[in-house]
Amino acid sequence: MLDATDKVVTPGLVDLHVHLREPGFEYKETIATGTRAAVMGGFTTICAMPNTGPVIDRPERVADLLERIAKSAYCRVLPIGAATLDHKNEVFTDFAALKAAGCVAISDDAFPLQRMDEMVEALTRAGQADLPFIAHCELKGLSRDGVVDRSAERLVDAPVQETLAEAASVRLWLAALDRVASDPRRGVQPHLHFAHVSTRAALEAMARHVRQGRSIEKPWGFVTRETAPHYLSLSSEAVSRHGAAAKMNPPLRSAADVEAVRWTTGCLDVCAVATDHAPHSPEEKAAGLLEAPFGIVGLETALPVVRAEIGLDAALARMSYFPSDIFGLGRGVLQEGAPADVIVIDPQARWQVDPSRFESKGRASPWAGEWLAGRVCATFVGGNLRMRDGVIL
């Protein structure tokens, strides 16, 4: 018997953007450790990015990944396919074959497409396969080799990325979308999903696009988006305090950008909040701000962090029903016939973040030592109890 008195019972969380690292980089994370972290944080469904070794770019590799998931996952894991073979941005993958093998979306995450013709082709293929295309918006000519945002230039001694690298890419993707959608010869209306949106300028570019009336038969049109807990809560000032534990790509932005992302996410429109959980080994992150790889972990801290910024009701909507609806996953609801993916939250619990106790192999968290309010105390996946009171079952 589980006593839920004074607790919140709600659909399990859905994360559209997780790096599980397996196969190929099991020293960073595995399907088992990543999904243990997921159920600890209340996630019952996660979408796995294709940045593995080998890359998830061929149907047989999707099949291998699904076998691994069946053997070791503690929650539902849905594969995302790579946009190009071996992430080389030279030859496109077979989007339809990847869908048939089990992928729920295609992405260029971490290997962003740069040219209009590439974007047009990617969106055409995604539309033909009826798959969302997840775009990593970064023009390399502007971001160059920067490790922090321009707003951190006076705070740390490190190469900077131009903030507009994101918005410039967003505009290019939107222009590509217009070209595809307005061409009757292509006969497709693709779904473009923007990953980890972090700047006011990018949000303004998207808002103008929507106001011009370009939409398709989706709940909120051609364009959907996600942001991440760290872009709601941390500005680039955090890099000077946390170093490589606050190094991610896109980098943390200015306080004005944080406010814009927080306001639009919490008050204005419909979007998803996804963790972009990207674990690395402690040794890699210990290399310092310049040499450490991009990426922090977030599955075990996401809900209380997002709740603190936009409130519990908004956080649950943007981390459960909305992401499920964006990708058509059929999750995020409590009703007869729906999957019994349920979490129980103690909204009064206060706990201190101790990365050494994470289920994830990753330890890089800018919330290390911080006190957070609210904690998931039980996670059911398909009616089966996977976590109770901090113990994985």
DSSP conformation letters of 162-208? -THHHHHHHHHHHHHHHHHHT-TTT-----EEE-S---HHHHHHHHH
Q: Which two tokens stand for residue 364?
A: 């890089």
3-class secondary structure, 135: strand
**C-beta separation of 342 from 376 below 8 A:** no
Beta-carbon contacts of residue 258 (< 8 Å; ≥ 6 apart): 231, 232, 233, 234, 235
- Residue 105, domain member (yes or no): yes
pLDDT of residue 355: 98
Catalytic residue among 109, 257, 276, 346: 276
Question: With bands split at pLDDT 50, 70 and 90, how would you rate the model's confidence at 269?
Answer: low
Q: Nearest Cα to 323, choosing from 1, 6, 14? A: 14
pLDDT of residue 212: 46
Q: Which two tokens stand for residue 372?
A: 């957070």
Does residue 369 register a pLDDT over 80?
yes
- Residue 241, domain member (yes or no): yes
Question: With bands split at pLDDT 50, 70 and 90, how would you rate the model's confidence at 45?
Answer: very high
pLDDT of residue 338: 87
**Residue 165, domain CATH:** 3.20.20.140
Domain of 129, in residue numbers: 13-334
pLDDT of residue 328: 92
- Residues facing 76 on adjacent strands: 45
- Residue 347, domain member (yes or no): no
pLDDT in tens, 320-329: 999 999 999 9
Does residue 12 register a pLDDT over 70?
yes
Beta-carbon contacts of residue 11 (< 8 Å; ≥ 6 apart): 44, 316, 320, 321, 331, 332, 333, 334, 338, 341, 342, 343
- Residue 89, domain member (yes or no): yes
Does residue 270 register a pLDDT over 80?
no
pLDDT of residue 91: 98
- Residue 386, domain member (yes or no): no
What share of the chain has pLDDT > 70, as a percent? 96
**C-beta separation of 295 from 279 below 8 A:** yes
- Name all contacts of 316-319 with Cβ < 8 Å and 24+ positions apart: 316/10, 316/11, 316/13, 318/265, 318/271, 318/272, 318/273, 319/13, 319/14, 319/15, 319/272, 319/273
Does residue 215 register a pLDDT over 80?
no
Question: With bands split at pLDDT 50, 70 and 90, how would you rate the model's confidence at 268?
Answer: low
- Residue 351, domain member (yes or no): no
pLDDT of residue 146: 97
Structural domains counted in the chain: 1
Q: What is the rounded average pLDDT for all residues in the chain?
A: 94
pLDDT in tens, 56-87: 999 999 999 999 999 999 999 999 999 999 99
- The answer to which of 35-39, 198-202, 283-287, 335-339 has the lowest mean pLDDT is 335-339
What share of the chain has pLDDT > 90, as a percent? 88
pLDDT of residue 222: 79
pLDDT of residue 211: 44
- Residue 313: active-site member: no
- Residue 377, domain member (yes or no): no
Q: Nearest Cα to 299, choosing from 128, 2, 4, 46? A: 46
Question: With bands split at pLDDT 50, 70 and 90, how would you rate the model's confidence at 221?
Answer: very low
pLDDT in tens, 203-212: 999 987 654 4
Determine the average pLDDT of the residues in 366-372.
Answer: 98
Q: Nearest Cα to 134, choosing from 163, 98, 183, 100? A: 98
Could you give the CA distance from residue 234 to residue 258 in angstroms, rounded to a whole number?
Answer: 7
pLDDT of residue 210: 56
- Residue 393, domain member (yes or no): no
Could you give the CA distance from residue 142 to residue 139 in angstroms, rounded to a whole number?
Answer: 6
**C-beta separation of 266 from 316 below 8 A:** no
Could you give the CA distance from residue 202 to residue 179 in angstroms, rounded to a whole number?
Answer: 19
Does residue 213 register a pLDDT over 70?
no
Could you give the CA distance from residue 231 to residue 202 in angstroms, rounded to a whole number?
Answer: 13
